[in-house]
Structure 1
């Protein structure tokens, strides 16, 4: 059974709007009604619908103009257009531009419910391989998205979760890599066994072996009893190694041996202990570059990087900003016993265009800060602007800034040379083989830049935060 859908109805015919609202509420859906396209746009960031149903012909902003606005700001949001018989050619053209579908007036109630059901299955991914065969999707609880890029990552994650292969999640700090690791664990046959998370940067190098492998009583000062390591704690389950790229080189050989042999030897013990763990690791580092610089072992890298999932940063899935902001606001309201309804349109516009170097973590911090200081029912743009300006996480790490610069440099290089790698290599002062490696690392396809209309005189960036 499909859960209730949040639907925004838009029609300047008050009678039809009321009739549709009653019918769809009776079917169990959550409905918000707007009598114009302009009102619908104002309601979107506050109501956060999963579907928009709009009349085609309306005074002021019509259905096609409303669709264009939705497509620009909420590209993952399906739109259904209601049209009179004489406007069918316009509706068909709209479907070619991305409208989910259209219904011709007068339409049957069951026909309407059927197309809503189809939109819901597509929107929630119920037809996707990224769901269990029985339709349950609890495995991805906590991951909120409308992004096609994120849905593709989740699809790959679900496929990989059904195996015992090791998985490497690569993404910037604050994107939610641990959430994805937990989702993979829930989707696996190990779901009823332990999930143990380890932040490799939080454990001093001198204690890393003891924490992961355990120790015997008396093996060092303070070891007053035998202690299981985190590998043993995760036995038959999943061990999540966060920030694996920061693991000391000296310890990497010991980790590799544990993975190869399927056993660990506690510090001070004279025998090894067999363990059965599935490794999911994550990093914000560029491990390919770390291999070149010999800061990460090749053999360990290939052991961990059986399946790689590239977690997109928030700035590349802006359609998720309003969804996540509403979620964080609801949580803040619950904790603070407040009833803030949402964000002013210009406040949401600021958030949609922000670069979010701190990703989802930064967005959550901003919403909580704005909610705590807000004295009205709607969060104004001034509070959002203040939080963006004062957010201590707004300055990216040196590694993230360098990564962003490299990608922008390569993109502009390809635009200037119209995808000619030989010319690009000459301009960059690199050989072609080396440049191809850089392009693959940043997932850039030279063919997409051929016959570019970009200004060939565009200057290369000198870096930005």
Structure 2
């Protein structure tokens, strides 16, 4: 039996088998079938080739001199959760092989096995991996075009950079910390990371501040029957439910200190132990945590564990508040108007006189969430804002002067009062800058 005739490159297989004669037999079979194979007698040397060799399948014996096949599986999954691992086993190790399947192995083959059985296994594993990577590439192409831009709207430099970073890190298994004010879209970012990750499991969201402290441990970790009064039957926790998916922990700063320690262990060991259970359950989960607050001051106050912060803070996405990207306000408002009109079965209304200026002048303390509510009110024929600071019917010159003042004020805040930076951003000479500053009653510090 030979691989399907195709122009695809030959599959790259990493073979780990300590029995020299058996290893040479498997090596010959795979190479004769057209596969590229690297063969090793010890796991340690083989695993060191993972970063550079771009293997598409790891084929390992369960019993090796320096580590067992389960440890090989664990290290391969830690390196790349998509990389298929198949185990070769004798009849006496069938139970261990089944355990390997439960822990994420692609398949197992019992010794002695036929040539056709081995080649078919390799073909299926590689075909599945290449299909998964192709689908992930298609998702990334969609996101780079319009997909992600429709979810995380805005053409400001901050939003473009955020979308690019999400696309770059989404396919990796790295945990992420998302920081930003209320209403900036932290859950949308977490969902985007999941949607473009290629992970097959669910997106599971939990608000750490919304659950009573007495329930949050059971909610996260689950429990066995009889673990505590009222636990009539076993329950799967949210972490275990998110297996092969994404766990989103919103308002992570509200998590009790004792549970922070348990969560840290989950992140380190990638296993979860239910309340009342004696054994831990392996989990393949990507954790995205979100916080409204800066966690570093909470660490200094003893309210948040430093080790958990550093474990979560491998990638930190900081969401810019709407007041610091006012160039996105008009486009976002129009986007939300179209969505609300469709949802409420209403026509898209025209902008009221003075409304565009009022939207730009508003401080938006509730960020994008507040802007969305304003758009919905506008579609329903209600005032979008409680009071518009720009009078309707003012002259074009007066409107332009008001907007100029807003732009100056925003630039000063973004540039922290540095005159040279403001002049460069607004393309002004220092003399013109100071003249306009005086005209609008502003100060440079």
The answer, yes or no, to whether TM exceeds 0.5 is yes
Structure 2 CA distance for partners of 1:186 and 1:224, relative to 1, 3 Å: same
1:412-441 alpha-carbon deviations (Å, 9 max, x no partner): 6x88xx99xxxxxxxxxxxxxxxxxxxxxx
Q: How many residues align?
A: 271
Match of 1:351 in 2: 359
Structure 2 CA distance for partners of 1:169 and 1:265, relative to 1, 3 Å: same
1:110-135 alpha-carbon deviations (Å, 9 max, x no partner): xxxxxxxxxxxxxxxxxxx9982576
Decide whether the 8 Å contact of 2:219 with 2:237 is kept in 1.
yes
CA distance in 2, matches of 1:282, 1:388: 33
CA distance in 1, matches of 2:138, 2:361: 30
Displacement of 1:337 in angstroms is 2.7
Match of 2:105 in 1: none
Decide whether the 8 Å contact of 1:194 with 1:237 is kept in 2.
yes
2:348 aligned with 1:320, yes or no? Answer: no
CA RMSD for the aligned pairs? 3.2
Counterpart among 258, 268, 274 of residue 250 in structure 1: 258
Q: Which has the larger radius of gyration?
A: 2
Match of 1:265 in 2: 273
2:170 aligned with 1:138, yes or no? Answer: no
CA distance in 1, matches of 2:335, 2:443: 41
CA distance in 2, matches of 1:292, 1:410: 28
Displacement of 1:460 in angstroms is 11
Match of 2:380 in 1: 372
Match of 1:235 in 2: 243
Counterpart among 175, 186, 191 of residue 166 in structure 1: 175
Decide whether the 8 Å contact of 2:271 with 2:281 is kept in 1.
yes
Displacement of 1:157 in angstroms is 1.5
Structure 2 CA distance for partners of 1:133 and 1:317, relative to 1, 3 Å: same
1:45-444 equivalent positions in 2, closer than 5 A: 132-133=140-141, 138-139=147-148, 141-190=150-199, 192-374=200-382, 383-386=383-386, 411=416
Decide whether the 8 Å contact of 1:366 with 1:388 is kept in 2.
no
Structure 2 CA distance for partners of 1:333 and 1:251, relative to 1, 3 Å: same
Displacement of 1:256 in angstroms is 0.6
Structure 2 CA distance for partners of 1:312 and 1:225, relative to 1, 3 Å: same
Structure 2 CA distance for partners of 1:225 and 1:329, relative to 1, 3 Å: same
Structure 2 CA distance for partners of 1:330 and 1:207, relative to 1, 3 Å: same
Decide whether the 8 Å contact of 1:264 with 1:273 is kept in 2.
yes
Decide whether the 8 Å contact of 1:249 with 1:296 is kept in 2.
yes
> Tell me, which stretches of 5 or more residues in structure 2 are unaligned?
1-136, 390-411, 422-429
Displacement of 1:408 in angstroms is 6.9
Match of 1:65 in 2: none
Q: TM-score, normalised by structure 2?
A: 0.55
3-state secondary structure, aligned to 1:219:
coil
3-state secondary structure, aligned to 2:317:
strand
3-state secondary structure, aligned to 2:140:
coil
Decide whether the 8 Å contact of 1:145 with 1:151 is kept in 2.
yes
3-state secondary structure, aligned to 1:373:
coil
3-state secondary structure, aligned to 1:279:
strand
3-state secondary structure, aligned to 1:259:
helix
Decide whether the 8 Å contact of 1:409 with 1:460 is kept in 2.
no
CA distance in 2, matches of 1:388, 1:277: 47
CA distance in 1, matches of 2:260, 2:330: 41
CA distance in 2, matches of 1:149, 1:277: 28
CA distance in 1, matches of 2:171, 2:235: 32
Match of 1:94 in 2: none
Decide whether the 8 Å contact of 1:139 with 1:184 is kept in 2.
no
CA distance in 1, matches of 2:331, 2:341: 16
CA distance in 1, matches of 2:165, 2:138: 7
1:271-300 alpha-carbon deviations (Å, 9 max, x no partner): 211111011111110112112222211110
3-state secondary structure, aligned to 1:331:
helix
CA distance in 1, matches of 2:415, 2:255: 29
CA distance in 2, matches of 1:353, 1:153: 25
